[in-house]
Chains A and B, each alone.
Chain A
Amino acid sequence: DTAVSQTPKYLVTQMGNDKSIKCEQNLGHDTMYWYKQDSKKFLKIMFSYNNKELIINETVPNRFSPKSPDKAHLNLHINSLELGDSAVYFCASSHWDPRGELFFGEGSRLTVL
């Protein structure tokens, strides 16, 4: 059983389109995250939800909108895609504990043409 699963694994789309990435975790965690990894492998947190409540919202364009329908799911919707949005997006989950481990999905590679 996959602990943190993301779909789709690959997206290729045109500038200006809207796309969504879905994430689900079956670990019973109460906190979920979206991270963006650029072409140089740098990882930056975008959002974090704890029990469906937004707790971290970094300086991300408001074209990015996370939605958490329940504790086990955190989806990412992106409007009006731009070339600079091309990256690998990772979902992760954890218990609400600064000393705890994050569990990552396999990533969703977004390519904007």
Chain B
Amino acid sequence: GDSVTQMEGPVTLSEEAFLTINCTYTATGYPSLFWYVQYPGEGLQLLLKATKADDKGSNKGFEATYRKETTSFHLEKGSVQVSDSAVYFCALSGTSGSRLTFGEGTQLTVNP
């Protein structure tokens, strides 16, 4: 079945540092890929997505590129802020209807 593997957390960075959170997936066919973010005490919200190979999703300074050859969708940001502290989830939507399979989540803490 479909699966998503994220780098283990937690990740702690200083403000303005570069962020990478790795995500790889296993799926049949051509899934869509997503990054969701969960701020403390809130539900998940979509950060960015990519629906086909080589697509780049971007939002709020975050980027991720759909790499079919390496089955990866790594999240990057050039300069993190304290307000980026949250849990980040990589997810995929396969061909079995409208559902998401989530990775384990990565807790990011950014210190001033």
Chain A interface residues (CB < 8 Å from chain B): 4, 31, 33, 40-45, 48, 50, 55-56, 90, 92, 94-102, 104-107
Q: Is B45 an interface residue (CB 8 A)?
A: yes
> Given A41-B104, A41-B107, do A107 and B87 touch, yes or no (CB 8 Å)?
no
Residue ranges of B at the interface with A (Cβ–Cβ < 8 Å) = 31-32, 34, 38, 41-46, 49, 51, 87, 89, 93-102, 104-105, 107
Interface contacts (Cβ under 8 Å), in number, total 68
Contact of B98 among A40, A50, A106 (CB under 8 A): A50
Residue among A48, A94, A99 making CB contact with B51, cutoff 8 Å: A99
7 closest A-B pairs by CB: A104-B43, A41-B105, A43-B102, A99-B32, A104-B44, A98-B93, A106-B43
Query: Which of chain A's residues have a CB closer than 8 A to the CB of B51?
Result: 99
With A33-B99, A48-B98, A107-B43 given, name 20 new contacts (CB 8 A). A41-B38, A41-B105, A42-B104, A43-B89, A45-B100, A50-B97, A92-B44, A97-B98, A98-B31, A98-B32, A98-B95, A98-B96, A98-B97, A100-B98, A101-B34, A101-B46, A104-B43, A105-B43, A106-B41, A106-B42
